[in-house]
Structure 1
């Protein structure tokens, strides 16, 4: 049987789709690209905004049209957050929300044998156990991902994720360490710890910092660790100290700020003021001078005035982020923000996004200029022979080399083009 997997949304969804693919292949199914004909189509959905939910529905309908005789399996955040009526309109053969995702293969096997449609979406508050979805090897064998946490308890006013993913829950401490060791033994040279709210990892009294300490002690010293994203309130002194004294903990943190204006942050229900955020950034950089810190920013949130935006713009420059992911605010039904009055006109939001993206490019160039030589993890070689990778500070690198490159290397960059380091062996920039 030919099975396609279509993934929408975040990196956690991408991780889970990778898990589905490996499990299906182990059970003898053939996994094909989503644009190929298939006997069964899996759509891993997103619901972070109304637009994302709409795209999920559109993708489901498009795949049904392209594969009229295929079984349709809808899984993930949109499935969980949709009403029963909305789920019935999808006319899917199997619907799985936030629970039973690690049983997807057995549920598909039952579907094929029984030919009976099922809707397995349950009450989100009942999901208290972390469902293990370990991936034991990644195709590139360079960077691996390890999902250690799921769910969120923060309830920012703009975000539907707590309603779609459920409460915070974490992978067992011993299991994380065991999987990390296995990934290292299979040749992976970087492991990214990921989750919906990774910084809130907690198991048997052990925090994320406790976990990292053990990983640094017990996993091969040639393996580096990276944190996918973390809130400023979760960057504790122990984590800073570990990063300061262990080069294996990549000197990059992605810390979402969302806004640089206290009035906006309060409406968003973010747990800090911009002054507190900046003070903590200054402390992190004092202890780890070569760290790069990137962020997420939402533009045009409900009632964001010109004055509030200008405050955000000024403070984003003050924060000196290495780069910014900039998102226009998009309403999500069911969130507190969706009931607030004062939506910002689309043209205004578009202009604000452009200003922040321009600043992000300037900040990235400035940050990249600080580093030479670079420590780079080679991830792939494209058809033209150019090697691609990322530095420890998570800046992209392109390397033109006549000799074969693999793993982690040191090199000097020749120039920066479009916020990418260019390394040219012929000009003597390669160090090893």
Structure 2
């Protein structure tokens, strides 16, 4: 039922985190190198890839829905299901999906070879290993990104932290990192392709470790081995991993963008304890103050979970008050969603959905206020132009605030401009 590869089309549906998005980009690049054509999931294709998530029960349910959707849209296509959801699913659950190829969290770098094998043999393949077997980092280098300016580089996978609400250690296994020499070579390749900003990403990026190379030493080596016009970001990092060496590097080298995304998850000690987070809110605040004392123009954003199990009104108000005092640049806010198999799923005292939704709304309103206040600190701003859309040149500043710029002449790359107004969390201005 499947055609020869020369005429084949494929689609990818990606759920979950930025690491999943990175890995989907890798799959697409590998297939395109072989002559396959990517199309949107709504169009007819010969290979449907669903890159799944399992971080919550809702995410797992959405993964199942997208698998069924893909099969319904293209019933004769090769159905490929990959990632965290199938890694955590039982053998019976995987069989019930009726997919042609299933790949868990190991051998994802071999996905395209497995697709070719499935096409050739016309047999169903299930490649799901126990997470205890995940010892080596599987390199999945992406050498070119659509924006042609910002690129992502996955340097780490897995997590040892075991927060009580999170299934990631069960889905991706223990921490492992890409060899530092490979990281540097991939970064050089990205620079050769014209990328001028590289974002280091991973499941627990701050835990990067390869021999004597921690994240700070890796970053120093990247700065030394790539051109002066190439800037760097860290996608996300835990407060306990922002080392003095990393702060010093950000102080000394302007090519390190002055933005850190540091998940807090809750700003109340009682809630943090139930979450099994490795700090108190006082420790979090103290470290944020120290980072700012060293790098005054830094912007720090965060993640927050609202409505965690047993979160009382008093606990939520403590979180709200502390977040308001921290004056972070913006929050990603999520309502707590149960995930079977985690410690939190065994706790009693789930919060009513309407209450959790109302708490999310309050935190998002506070986030909007914080973003506007943080954005007003900077003018002019330095921004990396990524694309032209709806008549505007769009991009993000070094502090990771979005910009929309009008210009009568073509603009690209990293520019400096003065904004005229802030609207809906975006800088607007005109470049002469």
TM superposition score category, shorter chain reference: over 0.9
Map 1:52-201; keep pairs closer than 5 Å: 52-201=59-208
**Partner residue of 2:338?**
331
**Partner residue of 1:36?**
43
CA drift of 1:205 comes to 2.1
Q: Secondary structure at the match of 2:94?
A: helix
**Partner residue of 2:253?**
246
Q: In the TM superposition, what whole-angstrom CA distance separates every residue of 1:10-65 from its partner, at most 9, and x where no partner exists? A: 11100000000000011122221111111111100010110010010011011111
Q: In the TM superposition, what whole-angstrom CA distance separates every residue of 1:60-106 from its partner, at most 9, and x where no partner exists? A: 01111111111111000101011111111100111000001000111
**Partner residue of 1:421?**
427
**Partner residue of 2:309?**
302
Relative to structure 2, which stretch is displaced further, 62-71 or 220-229?
A: 62-71
Q: What is the alpha-carbon distance in structure 2 between the residues aligned to residue 68 and residue 141 of structure 1?
A: 35
**Partner residue of 1:256?**
263
Structure 2, gaps ≥5 residues long: 1-7
**Partner residue of 2:229?**
222
Map 1:305-324; keep pairs closer than 5 Å: 305-324=312-331
**Partner residue of 2:3?**
none
Q: What is the alpha-carbon distance in structure 1 between the residues aligned to residue 350 and residue 188 of structure 2?
A: 49
**Number of aligned residues:** 425
Q: What is the alpha-carbon distance in structure 2 between the residues aligned to residue 424 and residue 377 of structure 1?
A: 15
**Partner residue of 1:406?**
412
Q: What is the alpha-carbon distance in structure 1 between the residues aligned to residue 425 and residue 35 of structure 2?
A: 43
CA drift of 1:139 comes to 2.4
Q: What is the alpha-carbon distance in structure 1 between the residues aligned to residue 430 and residue 145 of structure 2?
A: 28
Q: Which runs of 4+ in 1 moved over 4 A?
A: none
Q: What is the alpha-carbon distance in structure 2 between the residues aligned to residue 191 and residue 119 of structure 1?
A: 34
CA drift of 1:303 comes to 0.3
Q: In the TM superposition, what whole-angstrom CA distance separates every residue of 1:168-214 from its partner, at most 9, and x where no partner exists? A: 10010000011111111221110000000000000012100000111
What RMSD in Å do the two structures reach over aligned CA positions? 0.7
**Partner residue of 1:388?**
394
Q: What is the alpha-carbon distance in structure 1 between the residues aligned to residue 300 and residue 400 of structure 2?
A: 9
**Partner residue of 1:288?**
295
Q: What is the alpha-carbon distance in structure 2 between the residues aligned to residue 267 and residue 7 of structure 1?
A: 31
Q: What is the alpha-carbon distance in structure 2 between the residues aligned to residue 299 and residue 291 of structure 1?
A: 26
With the length of structure 2 as denominator, give the TM-score of the two structures: 0.97
Q: What is the alpha-carbon distance in structure 1 between the residues aligned to residue 146 and residue 395 of structure 2?
A: 15
Q: Secondary structure at the match of 1:295?
A: strand
With the length of structure 1 as denominator, give the TM-score of the two structures: 0.97
CA drift of 1:265 comes to 0.2
Which of 368, 371, 392 matches 1:364? 371
Q: In the TM superposition, what whole-angstrom CA distance separates every residue of 1:139-183 from its partner, at most 9, and x where no partner exists? A: 221100000001100000000111111111001000001111111
Q: Secondary structure at the match of 1:148?
A: strand
**Partner residue of 1:374?**
381
